[in-house]
Structure 1
Amino acid sequence: MSALIDGIKGNRFAVLGRAGMDLFADPIGTKSEDADTFRADLGGSSANICAGLAKLGSQASLITSVSDDAVGRFCMNKLEYYGVDTSFIRVVGGEYRMSLAVYESRIDDFQNVIYRNGAVDFQVTEEDMDKVDYSSFSAIISAGTVFAAEPSRSATFRAFENARNATLPIIFDIDYRPYSWPSPEVAADVLSRAGEASDLIVGNDEEFGFMAGGVDKGFAKATELAEKPGRIVIYKMGEKGAVTLADGQEIHTGIYPIDAVKPNGAGDSFMAGLLASIATGHSLEDAVMRGSACASIVVSQPGCAPAMPTTSQLDAFLAAHPGPTR
């Protein structure tokens, strides 16, 4: 586990996966079909993780492809605004388009409409991955959606291989989104392969259950993955908190209850808070709790990337908020 922690403490992350545009109905509580106004900002799981890391003081580079159009340029501008390095992003012409999410700031009857047809982020190639200077990073992060289609799937496994050759730890957010995959069977096989190749695996009970063939088998799957020496597995259970499996130990942690205005963005913020906290010297248990606090902050505000906290905002939340559930 020391090599993994040391890599995270290097605080220089290469992040694989998509950027996209988020459109969310304004004001809070408005349903999309009733909205006169939508706010636009950066979206996409990997881009959100990058923005969260950068706002917490980490170095984050997104490795992806974007469309050669106004929406692609919007996403590039937003990435740079949040302090994310874009030097490894390739602009792709033609009919490929950015991912688009249209959602609401509401919990009851929450709707999130995802447009992923011809998604440009799936056009990342093995050649793109070979151009990355892995020696400039201390760890790589991948979200599961990059494995849903070719050539991105093969390219990401190539990046894993290159990272391993450069002795970089691999951090994997399962992030299973059924709409991206050709079939559940393909997804279960590919995501399991990615998990086996990773050093830190983060997922929720449904995602581990999916990989295992049933939600009731999810924790057993997480435990099995955690048996590899040096690997950390974080099994998230929503309002029931999380179990961190490392070196034969089970670390149980709660959550910070909050009045949520939406359900999405929590997982991306958790990952950013977890890694940035380990990088700045917090214990694994404290880092999980700080990640949980980041998740609570994000679901309490509209948007995803704009809701990611800075370090001072995270510290202020922890100082003012009652302790976590047990």
Structure 2
Amino acid sequence: MVDVVACGELLIDFTPVQEKEKPGSVAFEQNPGGAPANVLVALSRFGKRTSFIGAVGNDVFGRFLQQTLIRQNIGTDGLVLTEEAPTTLAFVHLDETGDRSFHFYRNPGADMMLREEDVNEALIAQAAIFHFGTLSLTHEPARSATWKAVAYAKKHQRLLSFDPNIRASLWADLEEAKVMTLKGMAQADIVKLSEEELAFLKGSEDVVEATKSMLAQYDLQAVFVTLGEKGCFYRTRNQFGTVGGFPVTAVDTTGAGDAFVGALLNQLLEARERMLDIPQVKLEDMVRFANAAGALTTTKTGAIPAMPTQDEVKSFMEAAR
């Protein structure tokens, strides 16, 4: 049995490191990344059983990523090492607050080369939760492979978790990005969005009304909108509210949202209850834990290297009190 299977991109994040010996110059540190993989690492750090479906290049970067998953105790039965394209690279650029932007080398990238026949139905069938995003929906054949994986998850009545993680520069047409994201939302049970993604999809920054409209339109159990240092707004079919964040000195926000998702799914697995049956007080405790995991991740560079353990999150929350 597997707790969570995720489908999508696995790539190299080149994160800037200031060269003290050479003022004004920047070196880049190689870090494993990719939102679905980050989520699985977070869950693995919390002791959950996970497995990944996706493609990397059969090159030095791809083999490094394969070994990274193995070291993180993430199943690699669904990982393809392809000869069709090199491993996708992302150069991360950080502003003075640690907030990041990305420049991708992906024309094409190996993550786009996952094919329908690569998707293992049996692997998805044994998982409690299936997680996906939109980077694997930007191009074929990965788009069709992702929808095939989603269809398998629906067929076996798995809980579907969706984090769009929209990267505008990877879409030839932002209207297509919106269409694909809304299609993903229509398949999902749980959705996590950023404030910017919510505004992009709904044309409104009113989180209360926009999420209300979202749950009325789609068969969702819950929507979580991360608000940076302000915390997270949540809405289920019968309750909503905001859980405050944790103030930290951020050095790199890469992977913070993925840590949030991993921590939230971990709490849901621990609860052993349907999302709709969880009392509001308990749900807010779950969101608070996820907020803490996200905040703690921003205090280190890289995404996968920064993912905290359960004990680290609990200690951080205790110190914050």
Q: Which moved more, 1:97-106 or 1:242-251?
A: 97-106
Please state if 1:296 is matched with 2:295: yes
- Which residue matches 1:150? 140
d(CA) in 2 for partners of 1:113 and 1:240?
27
Where does structure 1 lack aligned partners over 5 or more consecutive residues? 1-9
**Residue 144 to residue 42, structure 1, CA distance change in 2 (3 Å):** same
- 8 Å Cα contact 2:171/2:177 also seen in 1: yes
SS in 1 for 2:74: coil
- 8 Å Cα contact 2:6/2:40 also seen in 1: yes
- Which residue matches 2:276? none
Residue 13 of structure 1, CA deviation: 0.5
Please state if 1:13 is matched with 2:4: yes
Where does structure 2 lack aligned partners over 5 or more consecutive residues? 273-281
SS in 1 for 2:251: coil
d(CA) in 2 for partners of 1:267 and 1:190?
20
Please state if 1:309 is matched with 2:308: yes
Give the alignment's TM-score, normalised by structure 2: 0.88
- Which residue matches 1:53? 43
Residue 99 of structure 1, CA deviation: 3.0
d(CA) in 1 for partners of 2:156 and 2:255?
31
Match of 2:53 among 48, 59, 63: 63
- Which residue matches 2:243? 253
Q: Which moved more, 1:194-203 or 1:278-287?
A: 278-287
- Which residue matches 2:253? 263
Residue 259 of structure 1, CA deviation: 0.8
d(CA) in 2 for partners of 1:42 and 1:64?
14
**Residue 122 to residue 132, structure 1, CA distance change in 2 (3 Å):** farther
- 8 Å Cα contact 1:209/1:219 also seen in 2: no
Please state if 1:287 is matched with 2:286: yes
Please state if 1:318 is matched with 2:317: yes
1:148 maps to amino acid? T
Give the alignment's TM-score, normalised by structure 1: 0.87
More strand by share: 2
Q: RMSD between aligned alpha carbons?
A: 2.5
Match of 1:114 among 94, 101, 104: 104
Match of 1:273 among 260, 263, 281: 263
- Which residue matches 1:101? 91
Please state if 1:225 is matched with 2:225: no
Match of 1:22 among 13, 21, 32: 13
Residue 96 of structure 1, CA deviation: 3.5
- Which residue matches 2:169? 179
Residue 286 of structure 1, CA deviation: 1.3
SS in 1 for 2:262: helix
SS in 2 for 1:118: coil
Matches within 5 A, 1:233-244: 233-244=223-234
d(CA) in 2 for partners of 1:74 and 1:301?
21
d(CA) in 2 for partners of 1:166 and 1:32?
56
Count, aligned residues: 311
Residue 97 of structure 1, CA deviation: 2.8
1:167 maps to amino acid? Q
